[in-house]
Structure formats: C-alpha cells, structure tokens
Structure 1
Amino acid sequence: MARVRLIGPEAVTVPELGGREVQPDEVVEVPDERFEGYVCQPRTWEAVEEPKTSAKKTTAAKPQKGDD
C-alpha cells in the first residue's frame, strides 16, 4: 500500500477509504493502483510513500536460436 498526506486546509471524507474522514496533515494508506489519483491533486495530497512495484518490467522476447 502507498501512503499519502492530506495537505489541504480542512478535513475531507474519502469514500474509497470506507467513508473515513481524513484530517489535515494526516497520513493514510491508499491502494497502490489508486496512488496517482491522489498525488495528481497537489493542492490536496502529497506523496509520503510511493507504491511498491510488484510487477516486473518485461522486454520483448528475444528470438530463440534454433537449428535451421
């Protein structure tokens, strides 16, 4: 889980967190896949801990050497 801090001036209710009210300067955990939805609001939220990359980056498959 990623973590974000509410930097807005007043408390907000976050439906995604079960309708929980988050207070200014409070740090909360959010699902990794929703992290960008918070930090794209820089006047309201700031990143504390970015999501852990659980999916490995992959590259295109290399051609296999075979007997031609």
Structure 2
Amino acid sequence: MLMSSNSSGSGSEARLQYGPNGFRVIRPGQHVFCAATGEAIPLADLRYWSVERQEPYASAQIAAEQLKP
C-alpha cells in the first residue's frame, strides 16, 4: 500500500484506489468510511476492500457479508 507521509488532509476522509494487493492514495486523509456500516476506518487499520466495487469494509465479517453472491 502506498501512503503519503504528508500531513495534509489530517483528520479528513482519504480517497483511495483499491487494488488486489493494496491501495493507492488519490487524496490524502486519515480514514475512509466502511461501505456497509459507515464506520470510519483509519488507513493504518484498513485491511478489507473490494477491488471490483472499489469500496472498503471495517472487518472480514462485513466484507464476507457484502461480497456474498
């Protein structure tokens, strides 16, 4: 994952591009919001997302529920 050490955007929502092995910061920030729950997820804690849907999830359980066929 590529993260900027720049502190601009501190306390704000980041904009990310999600890939199969990580994410790229498009707009710096401190967190993203879970697509299912709306919970703020600090970038340092972000582990689950959908590449196809380009959305983050707060936990593995939430990701599994969202991605069920």
Higher relative contact order (CA 8 A, sep 6+): 1
Q: TM-score if structure 1 supplies the norm length?
A: 0.28
Q: TM-score if structure 2 supplies the norm length?
A: 0.28
